[in-house]
Amino acid sequence: MSELKPILLVEDNPRDLELTLAALEKCQLANDVVVARDGAEALAFLSRRDPHTGKPIGLPAVVLLDLKLPKIDGLEVLERVKSDPETRQVPIVMLTASREESDLVRSYRLGVNAFVVKPVDFQEFFQAIRDLGAFWAILNEPPVGCARRRDWTPAGG
């Protein structure tokens, strides 16, 4: 049996990050959760390449991606990931507070797999994250991919 792929959580808001991690932990998923706090960190994680093959090392099972991020926003991250043949099959869930129709439409045009508006209510938010984690890490059947990465840390981190 192959090793589990990690979940990449891209979130800059400390409160939302803490709640999301707590909800994922409560799901008792065996997947590692890797946190990137801005779009640049997310792209660095996704673009790490094996020096022998040039292929990405251990792509995640899913990326939970905030829309409004420092350095590189979520839509730009989405566009870059979906335009790269090596990463385009990675499922991306836009997890955002934005209810803007233009953000929703642009996300789907760029290839997002799901667009989830963060509920304001704590219990609803918690349940939404648990459901997302369970679906993408357990129920979803992705194409065969690489094993998880255990050694990644952001530059300077």
pLDDT tens figures, 104-131: 999 999 999 989 887 667 778 777 777 7
Give me the domain span that covers residue 69.
Answer: 7-139
> In the prediction, which pLDDT does 1 show?
42
Identify the CATH number of the domain in which residue 84 sits: 3.40.50.2300
**DSSP SS3 for 34:** strand
Residue 46 domain flag: yes
| Span 38-50, average pLDDT | 89
Residue 149 domain flag: no
Mean pLDDT of the chain: 81
How many structural domains compose the chain?
1
- The pLDDT tens digits of the residues spanning 10-32 come to 999 999 899 888 888 877 777 88
Element spanning 95, H or E? strand 92-96
Which of 9, 35, 11, 21 is CA-nearest to residue 152?
Answer: 35
Residue 157 domain flag: no
Residue 56 domain flag: yes
Residue 156 domain flag: no
Residues 6 or more apart whose CB falls under 8 angstroms from that of 50 comprise: 56, 57
Residue 111 domain flag: yes
> In the prediction, which pLDDT does 150 show?
34
